[in-house]
């Protein structure tokens, strides 16, 4: 741990303990910067309290500790320009805690909290900035407008706070979407065959073996009005080659007359029978 020649060892030890506590559990709206090489200068960033003209601004200040600290109070200065009755144009802070009301038992935490409270409730009766003090007493709206103008121009802007759980929620939503659209999941088989509630025809796989040919005269459709009855034209239809073979057989295998020739021969036989009866 570095030491400072202007401060006694026991004070340095006490300051080190207090600064560590401020770093681990900082006061609301106050962020202390620790410099291990010089405990005689303490820097702090103070957030402008809500509902005041200093809202949405961060103001940097410093406390200077003298060689007889804590018997004498530290001196406070704002490094950020601010329009305030109790803060001079050079940044010096006027507050009773750092003057006549100082007590060696008061710590740095108490001093920083008093300075922040000064932004909430100024004391125009003991003003270092006479213009700000007079304006505060006579026309608060005008004073507030000036203070907001200074805040917007000179104060540091607070960093946006990240939303807790945002990444987890986005990851969860992404996982849900992937589950819904995954075409390989067996749980989604019913969803892949429908579009807006309408069933889609199941197409055969190009790797599936071809279906066996159906028998001649047997219908492959067995439901609805498309079911074929036995003896219908569609089921009894025979190839042209089979029909030609049957006609050839009826015609006696050689004649070209077919059924007409058979009828002619029968008539001749009947005529001969009649001739024999007459004899």
What ranges in the chain are assigned the alpha helix state H?
9-24, 108-120, 130-138, 140-154, 166-181, 189-192, 233-236, 240-250, 259-278
Concerning whether 117 is annotated as a catalytic residue, the answer is no
* CA distance linking residue 142 with residue 139, whole number of Å: 6
The two structure tokens encoding residue 264: 């002619």
| Helix or strand holding residue 32 (H, E) | strand 30-33
Concatenate the DSSP letters of all residues of 221-257 into one string.
--SGGGPPPTT-HHHH---HHHHHHHHHHHTTTT-S-
Query: DSSP letter string over 139-164?
Result: -HHHHHHHHHHHHHHHSBPPPPPPPT
User: Cα(27)–Cα(65) distance, rounded to whole angstroms?
Assistant: 20
What is each CA distance from 158 to 23, 59, 114, 145, 161, in whole angstroms?
Answer: 19, 10, 21, 20, 9
Dist. CA 108–CA 63, nearest whole Å: 9
Q: Is residue 234 within 8 Å of residue 228, measured between CB atoms? A: yes
Given 94, 117, 168, 196, which residue is catalytic?
94
- Indicate which residues carry an active-site annotation: 94
């Amino acid at each position: 741990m570095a030491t400072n020649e202007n401060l006694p060892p026991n004070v340095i030890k006490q300051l080190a303990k207090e600064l560590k506590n401020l770093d681990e559990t900082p006061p609301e709206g106050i962020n202390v910067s620790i410099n291990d090489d010089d405990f005689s200068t303490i820097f702090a960033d103070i957030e402008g309290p809500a509902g005041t003209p200093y809202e949405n601004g961060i103001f940097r200040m410093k406390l200077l500790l003298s060689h007889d600290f804590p018997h004498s109070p530290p001196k406070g200065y704002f490094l950020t320009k601010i329009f305030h009755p109790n803060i001079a144009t050079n940044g010096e802070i006027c507050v009773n805690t750092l003057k006549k009301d100082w007590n060696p038992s008061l710590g740095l935490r108490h001093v920083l909290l008093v300075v922040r409270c000064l932004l909430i409730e100024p004391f125009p009766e003991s003003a270092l900035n006479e213009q700000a003090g007079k304006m505060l007493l006579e026309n608060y709206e005008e004073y507030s407008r000036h203070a907001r103008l200074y805040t917007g121009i000179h104060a540091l802007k607070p960093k946006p706070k990240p939303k807790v759980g945002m990444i987890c929620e986005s990851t969860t939503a992404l996982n849900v979407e992937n589950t819904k659209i995954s075409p390989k999941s067996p749980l989604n088989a019913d969803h892949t065959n429908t579009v807006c509630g309408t069933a889609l025809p199941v197409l055969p796989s190009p790797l599936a073996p071809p279906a066996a040919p159906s028998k001649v005269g047997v219908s492959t459709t067995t439901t609805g009005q498309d079911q074929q009855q036995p003896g219908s034209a569609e089921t009894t239809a025979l190839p042209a080659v089979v029909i030609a073979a049957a006609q050839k057989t009826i015609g006696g295998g050689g004649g070209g007359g077919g059924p007409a020739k058979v009828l002619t021969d029968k008539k001749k036989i009947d005529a001969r029978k009649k001739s024999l009866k007459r004899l």
